[in-house]
Amino acid sequence: MAKANAVVGQSGGPTGVINASLVGVIEEAKKHPEIKNLYGAIHAVAGMVKDEFINLKKLSPTVLKNVAASSSSVLGSSRDKPDEAYCAKILEVFKKRDIRYFFYIGGNDSANTAHIINIMAAKSGYELRAFHVPKTIDNDLLVTDHCPGYGTAAKFEACALIGDDLDNRSLPGIKIDVIMGRHAGFLTAAAALGRQRDDDGPHLLYFPERGVSMDKFLGDVDGVYKKLGRCVIAVSEGMCDTDGVVWTKKIAENSEKDAHGNIQLSGTGVLADYLAGQVKGKLGIKRVRADTFGYLQRSFAGLQSSVDVKEARQCGIMAVKFAMKETSGSVAMERTGSGKKYAVKYVRTELSNVAEKTKSMPDEFINAEGNGVTKAFIEYAMPLTGGVPESAHLDGNPRV
Amino acid sequence: MAKANAVVGQSGGPTGVINASLVGVIEEAKKHPEIKNLYGAIHAVAGMVKDEFINLKKLSPTVLKNVAASSSSVLGSSRDKPDEAYCAKILEVFKKRDIRYFFYIGGNDSANTAHIINIMAAKSGYELRAFHVPKTIDNDLLVTDHCPGYGTAAKFEACALIGDDLDNRSLPGIKIDVIMGRHAGFLTAAAALGRQRDDDGPHLLYFPERGVSMDKFLGDVDGVYKKLGRCVIAVSEGMCDTDGVVWTKKIAENSEKDAHGNIQLSGTGVLADYLAGQVKGKLGIKRVRADTFGYLQRSFAGLQSSVDVKEARQCGIMAVKFAMKETSGSVAMERTGSGKKYAVKYVRTELSNVAEKTKSMPDEFINAEGNGVTKAFIEYAMPLTGGVPESAHLDGNPRV
């Protein structure tokens, strides 16, 4: 392909390393004279239709270093889900600016946007190379072994639960933590990565992949509490009942409407507070606390996984490399070694393999009871965190 | 005083550095032959009345290093508030075990417990040295310039809000964060420590020290939103109205009771969700999110402030040193240098000066509008965090 301009955008919810992917794209693009200007789209597709770009090849190494270390999307993101008309406008801007390389960092919706625009360009005979760089804390994209963004968020969960379990040991009771991840349980499962002793929490984990009734949940909690005198629980925000209906929806249906409209049933704290109420009311346990981790999970500053940063950057680099040879695709990671020999290689897959599709946690990662993770999950996820802090204990010391 | 045994306990809510104070006590106690055995009370006063102790002088340097780096209270804590009868039982155990040094790490209630037992011992002619080591993320103890535990929690708030503000820049809207601190605004104020540019959030901060009406709150949010197109807000959990009634109480009073008892008005998410509902409903802003940071603020693993750890440890060391010369007291820090020359010295104050009393944020730390912090606050609090991460931006880059 002749020399042309390129565009890169960051889409969807920010992560701890989406900027590292951006920096990867920028660094690699600088190496290829085929890419004249590299435009950064301000607020993703929204900036593309509005023709709002900045010049990324001019950024200094110092700026790039800071950007790669910073959480969230430095170009700005967008929740727009472009339809055909929207994509047609984007393509107009691409043509006007002679943009023939399109790099889009995001989840399955972003892969779909790249896919639509790619097809549209081909139909109109406009030569375009469209590449998707995976990103999501939910870890729910197909093909790739795992998603950039997940390792850092997983590290956050591990650090959170290490501290939370130590807190609960110190002041025993029930602690419930509601964790992000939409319809995939990967992020909730990561809460188990901080467990270092048999009686460490989280003692129970619940995933959208396995529907659980409120009775089963309460029975589980009661069992752990009777055994240990305390219980730490990690629950997916998208947790559902055995009939597949999500818990939050059931709570809303079972609750009377507030005439003043003051209580937000869709609010962030509702599931946690509801579960705490159930444990208090039905199990008669006095000290029950519940937290909803919220946006901290995807944006907390200064807590990147070193492995995640490196891989996110490499995914950006590989997107540009692939674009020099191929016309479209999504970057995926294939695991080539495990444990201390953990390693990945980077491959190209078709956009259509990733677009609009989601992955669930495989059965082998969930225990038979449906309330915990397996060793296979720990082996899968631990290397992605770059390591988690040790937790101290004095349990082995005899009473005197 | 003749050679005798010593006891140390950790009380109240855990912090990121209460274990560092414990290690300080242990290390210094090892140096003094006056202290025969150093007993660690399991679950604080609860362990003291039940005669449950472990031997701390035997712990290896490696174990002590791990303990000092770990969040939460490794001995276990207690929420018991001992009355005279409870304290009398503790004193019995002390006498039985020849415990004549009592080190208690905790907040103002813990200082009070030490105070009661100290008076009781004196009355019964039992020689006892009772020392309190300050600890609280709320930073609300009297006499001391600041409290061990606050610097680490302040760092957490700064990292949280740096990330949260970057997230909000990326996907603009309203973000409300509810922050701990009981009736003191220090911890909420720390949310401002990550601000690095004029338009960085949090743009509004609300403290229990300054009552604010819901109308004023909504007016403030509307103003920032109209100016910046987004707004990040930090609100103290103990926030109150102009009449001094806390917001959460008002919300409960204004809400209809749920016949099924499903909605926990005292739950963790209620204030955040209520405020989000108000902003959505009354200002008509669509993208409104709210988080309640919860226990993460006091127990998150692997995020200690280096300054806080050092000071917490030194407070433990100084308690033992003071106990070699004086009969009772609480360790306090006096600031002896600011900015790059930040330094403190450690002094002794009477237990009665700290027991049961609380400090509020001084007026000079709150802006005239009552919705932000002053430069004086930043200068006060920043050194305690040991530094916060830089946040990257590309705002200076022209559109092309």
- Kindly give the confidence (pLDDT) of every residue in chain A, 400 residues in length, as a single tens digit, with 9 standing for 90 and above: 789 999 999 999 999 999 999 999 999 999 999 999 999 999 999 999 999 999 999 999 999 999 999 999 999 999 898 999 999 999 999 999 999 999 999 999 999 999 999 999 999 999 999 999 999 999 999 999 999 999 999 999 999 999 999 999 999 999 999 999 989 999 999 999 999 999 999 999 999 999 999 999 999 999 999 999 999 999 999 999 999 999 988 887 766 444 333 334 445 788 998 899 999 999 999 999 999 999 999 999 999 999 999 999 999 999 999 999 999 999 999 999 999 999 999 999 999 999 999 999 999 999 999 999 999 999 999 999 999 999 998 988 899 9
Q: Which of A262, A270, A278, A306 to mutate to test the interface with B (most CBs of B within 10 A)?
A: A262
DSSP secondary structure letter of residue A17: S
Banded pLDDT at B254 (limits 50, 70, 90): low
**B392 close contact with A: CB closer than 8 A:** yes
| A328 shares its domain with A344 | yes
The predicted pLDDT at position A254 comes to 67
Q: What is the pLDDT of residues B186-216, one digit of tens each?
A: 999 999 999 999 999 999 999 999 999 999 9
User: Does residue A391 fall inside a structural domain?
Assistant: no
Of A146-155, B58-67, B242-251, B381-390, give the lowest mean pLDDT range: B242-251
Yes or no, beta carbons of B55 and A397 under 8 Å apart: yes
Banded pLDDT at B262 (limits 50, 70, 90): very low
User: Residue B110: exposed, middle, or buried by beta-carbon count in 10 A (0-12, 13-18, 19+)?
Assistant: buried
For residues A156 and A297, the answer to whether their CB atoms sit within 8 Å is yes
Q: How many domains does chain B have?
A: 2
The predicted pLDDT at position A350 comes to 98
| A323 shares its domain with A375 | no
| A181 shares its domain with A89 | no
| A98 shares its domain with A55 | yes
The predicted pLDDT at position B251 comes to 82
Q: Which two tokens stand for residue B373?
A: 């912090």
**A328 close contact with B: CB closer than 8 A:** no
User: Does residue B394 fall inside a structural domain?
Assistant: no
Q: Which of B5, B22, B70, B72 to mutate to test the interface with A (most CBs of A within 10 A)?
A: B72
CATH code of residue B372? 3.40.50.460
Of B66, B167, B389, the CB nearest to A302: B389
| Stated pTM of the model | 0.96
The predicted pLDDT at position B249 comes to 84
Computed over every residue of chain B, the mean pLDDT equals 94
Of B256, B260, B295, the CB nearest to A259: B256
| B94 shares its domain with B161 | no
The predicted pLDDT at position B266 comes to 45
Strands A231-236, A174-179: pairing is: parallel
User: Does residue B283 fall inside a structural domain?
Assistant: yes
Q: Which two tokens stand for residue A258?
A: 């507030």
Place of tokens 């242990």: B26
The predicted pLDDT at position B248 comes to 86
Rounded Cα distance between A226 and A12, Å, is 43
**A397 close contact with B: CB closer than 8 A:** yes
| B226 shares its domain with B84 | no
| A251 shares its domain with A380 | yes
User: Does residue A316 fall inside a structural domain?
Assistant: yes
The predicted pLDDT at position A267 comes to 58
CATH code of residue A16? 3.40.50.450
For residues A124 and A91, the answer to whether their CB atoms sit within 8 Å is yes
Q: Which two tokens stand for residue B116?
A: 């009661």
Q: Is B220 helix (H, G, I), strand (E, B) or coil?
A: helix
**B195 close contact with A: CB closer than 8 A:** no
B residues 2-41 lying closer than 8 A (beta carbon) to A: 10, 13-14, 19, 37, 39-40
Of A390-399, B190-199, B286-295, B340-349, give the lowest mean pLDDT range: A390-399
Yes or no, beta carbons of B75 and A394 under 8 Å apart: yes
| B310 shares its domain with B296 | no
The predicted pLDDT at position A65 comes to 96
The number of residues making up chain B comes to 400
B residues 95-134 lying closer than 8 A (beta carbon) to A: none
Segment B236-256 mean pLDDT: 84
Q: Is B183 helix (H, G, I), strand (E, B) or coil?
A: coil
User: Does residue B392 fall inside a structural domain?
Assistant: no
For B236-264, what is the HEC assignment? ECCCECCCCCEHHHHHHHHCCCCCCCCCC
Of B13, B76, B273, the CB nearest to A264: B273
User: Does residue B48 fall inside a structural domain?
Assistant: yes
Per-residue pLDDT for B267 more than 70? no
Count of CA atoms in the C-beta half-sphere (13 A) of B125: 0
| B162 shares its domain with B278 | yes
Banded pLDDT at B261 (limits 50, 70, 90): very low
B-chain residues near A270 (CB < 8 A): 263, 269, 273
Banded pLDDT at B265 (limits 50, 70, 90): very low
Ramachandran angles phi, psi of B334, nearest 5°:
-115, 130
What pairs with residue B38 in β-bridges? B6
Neighbours of B93 (CB within 10 A): 19
Q: How many CB pairs under 8 A join A and B?
A: 294
**A246 close contact with B: CB closer than 8 A:** no
User: Does residue B320 fall inside a structural domain?
Assistant: yes
The predicted pLDDT at position A67 comes to 97
Rounded Cα distance between B322 and A28, Å, is 61
Strands B99-106, B4-10: pairing is: parallel
Q: What is the pLDDT of residues B370-395, one digit of tens each?
A: 999 999 999 999 999 999 999 998 98
DSSP secondary structure letter of residue A8: E
The predicted pLDDT at position B255 comes to 61
Q: Which of A253, A273, A306 to mutate to test the interface with B (most CBs of B within 10 A)?
A: A273
Rounded Cα distance between B42 and A296, Å, is 33
Element (H, E) at A348: strand A343-349
Ramachandran angles phi, psi of B340, nearest 5°:
-70, -20
Instruction: Name, in order, each residue with C-beta under 8 angstroms of A124's C-beta and a sequence gap of 6 or more.
Output: A91
Domain of B139 in residue numbering reads as 4-143+302-354
Yes or no, beta carbons of A296 and B171 under 8 Å apart: no
Amino acid at position B34, single letter: E
Q: Which residue has the higher pLDDT, A312 or B260?
A: A312
| A132 shares its domain with A223 | no
User: Does residue A400 fall inside a structural domain?
Assistant: no
| A47 shares its domain with A131 | yes
| A276 shares its domain with A178 | yes
Q: Which two tokens stand for residue B381?
A: 């609090």
